[in-house]
Structure 1
Amino acid sequence: MALLEVSHLDVRFALRQGEVRALRDVSFTLDRGERLGIVGESGAGKSVAAFTILNLIAKPGYIAGGSILFEGRDLTRLKPRALQNIRGNQISMIFQDPMMTLNPVLTVGEQMIECLKAHRRIRSREAREIALNKLRQVYIPSPEKRLDQYPHELSGGMRQRIIIAIALLLDPDIIVADEPTTALDVTIQAEIMSLLLELCEKHNVALILITHDLGVVSQVTQRTLVMYAGRVIEQGPTREIINDAQHPYTQGLINALPQMASPGSRLNQIPGAMPPLAKTPPGCAFHPRCGFSTDAAGQRRRDCREDVPAFVTSGNCHVACHMVRELVERDPVEPGEAS
């Protein structure tokens, strides 16, 4: 049994102008110690998926359907007290901006000790020793000094290391990292991702990494989900998706990487923009931007315009695309041929 199993998750926001579906039929699993990446443009639903796992969706948002099974328990049906025992204790989250996460009027040590006392019956001295140990694990220099400092006295990279240390305080089974390097410069980003990978491997912690950066995903994760307009449109082994993307949207994301353009030429880009969730087009949501959705006469294919594509297996990946389905049905892979 998978450590985490998300099945047919449907999240909606009840707005004055009508109900908006932020997640549509999202399903995936996560095994113990596995590293999973969720990628897509802004508005794809990545962060909503991350927040929903811990049931942190604020009103007017709500879970309209589906299940989130953690060690066999459905998190969508737990009472607040039971869910509070899981948050931070068994499933931790790293947010985008450490300055928004850390309390500016409490020292680092006060915040770490408070977190430990919220979940364990422990003395302050023992809690401080655990906090010091975690700071050492994330390579914070002079940890004794840092415990008595306030967040504003630390650099951005140092603050993010402290957030990671707090996430590891209670030895969780899963860490959900929501774009943990967004506010950092490139060199610090690489250090933080390398640290996160090292800690997950060392402690056998499962990781869900939310990002728009396919370069980071290729270096850190073992399996990848690609999201578009609230749906998962491709999922499979990270190496296979990076080397041989099947969905036109995934191909567009990879082609848009700076290293894919010739020196001195314009960067590649996907035409158009992600549709607003309130105005998601029928059929395949990507079809207005997809170069493969037009027929020989230049008209949009009817199935792309009208029918939501079902998942089809291509190699070791699952892809929701009418074009891929036709290719697979025309030239099926014999058993044993898929790598």
Structure 2
Amino acid sequence: MALLDVRQLDVRFSSRGKAVQALRGIDFSLERGERLGIVGESGAGKSVAAFSILNLIAHPGFIAGGEITFDGHHLNRMSERQLRKIRGDRIAMIFQDPMMTLNPVLTLGAQMIECLKAHRRISTREARQIALDKLNLVQIPSPERRLDQYPHELSGGMRQRIIIAIALLLDPDLIIADEPTTALDVTIQAEIMALLTELCDTQNVALMLITHDLGVVSQVTRRTLVMYAGRIIEQGPTREIINDPQHPYTQGLLDALPQMATPGERLNQIPGAMPSLNNIPPGCAFNPRCTFATERCTREVPHFVSTGGTQVACHMVEAMLAKEKAHDTV
């Protein structure tokens, strides 16, 4: 049984008397110790998918349908009190900006000890020792001194390591990392992602990494979901998706990486922009931006077809596979 199983997840936001869909029929699973990447542009629905798992979607958002199962427990059927026992304990989150997570008026030690005592019946001395152990685990120098410091006294990279240490305090089964390196420079980004990878391998923690950067995903995850306008449009082993993307949108994301552009020239970009939730195009939502779009793409939502180890929702790929199959039977 998968550690996390999401089936037909439908999330909506009330707007001017009607509900618009942010997620439409999302299906995915995550095994223990597995590293999963979720990629796409801003507005694709990546963070909404992550927040839905622990029902952290703020009003006017709500889960309209589907099932979220974690280790056999149906999360979207739980009360708020039951969910509090899982949040931070068995499922931990790492957010984009550590200063939005850390309390600026409390020392790091006070925050870590408070977190531990909220979930465990332990003494302050025991909690402080666990906090020290976790700071050592994420390679924080002089951990004893750091516990008595305030967030503003640390660098951005150090604060992000603190957030990872807090996420590990209660030995979770799953860490959800939402753009964990966005505000950091490239060198620190690499260090943080290497640290997360090492921790997942040594602690057998599953990781769900949400990012817009396929370059980061290629270095960290084993499997990837590509999202567009609230749907998954391609999924499979990360290496296959990076080396041989099937969906035109995935190819566009790869072409937009800085290393894919000719030095001295403009970066490649996908024409157009992500559609707003109240104006999703009919058929394949990517069709207005796709150079391969046909009339069928404007009226029919594509279903998943398998090609190699990946699944892709694209009429063009479906047509090519059908043509190849017909040729093979001749």
TM-score interval, smaller chain: over 0.9
Distance 1:8 1:15, change over 3 A: same
The aligned residue for residue 306 of structure 2 is: 313
* Unaligned 5+ runs, structure 2: none
Q: Equivalences for 1:8-87 in 2 at 5 Å?
A: 8-16=8-16, 18-87=18-87
The aligned residue for residue 268 of structure 1 is: 268
Q: Percent identity?
A: 74
The aligned residue for residue 296 of structure 1 is: none
Output one character per residue of 1:35-64: Cα deviation in whole Å (capped at 9) or x when no partner: 000000000000101111111011110000
Q: Distance in 2 between matches of 1:217 and 1:88?
A: 24
| CA apart distance, 1:6 | 0.4
The aligned residue for residue 148 of structure 1 is: 148
Q: Distance in 2 between matches of 1:68 and 1:50?
A: 11
| CA apart distance, 1:333 | 11
Would you say 1:252 and 2:259 are equivalent positions? no
Q: Equivalences for 1:1-339 in 2 at 5 Å?
A: 1-16=1-16, 18-293=18-293, 301-332=294-325
| CA apart distance, 1:284 | 0.3
Distance 1:243 1:144, change over 3 A: same
Q: Distance in 2 between matches of 1:262 and 1:188?
A: 26
**More displaced stretch, 124-133 vs 322-331:** 322-331
- Which consecutive segments of 4 or more residues in structure 1 shift more than 4 A? none
The residue identity in structure 2 corresponding to 1:27 is D
- Aligned partners of 1:8 and 1:24 also within 8 Å: yes
Paired positions, count: 327
The residue identity in structure 1 corresponding to 2:323 is R
* Unaligned 5+ runs, structure 1: 294-300, 335-339
| CA apart distance, 1:263 | 2.1
Q: Distance in 1 between matches of 2:325 and 2:124?
A: 63
| CA apart distance, 1:265 | 2.4
Q: Distance in 1 between matches of 2:235 and 2:253?
A: 14
The residue identity in structure 1 corresponding to 2:299 is E
Residue 331 of structure 1 aligns to a residue whose secondary structure is: helix
What is the RMSD of the two structures over their aligned residues, measured on CA atoms?
1.2
Q: Distance in 1 between matches of 2:322 and 2:37?
A: 29
The residue identity in structure 2 corresponding to 1:235 is Q
The residue identity in structure 2 corresponding to 1:104 is P
| CA apart distance, 1:17 | 5.2
Q: Distance in 1 between matches of 2:182 and 2:15?
A: 29
The residue identity in structure 2 corresponding to 1:279 is N
| CA apart distance, 1:72 | 1.4
Q: Distance in 2 between matches of 1:88 and 1:245?
A: 35
The residue identity in structure 2 corresponding to 1:330 is K
Residue 85 of structure 2 aligns to a residue whose secondary structure is: helix
- Aligned partners of 1:131 and 1:169 also within 8 Å: yes
Distance 1:304 1:127, change over 3 A: same
Q: Distance in 1 between matches of 2:115 and 2:209?
A: 23
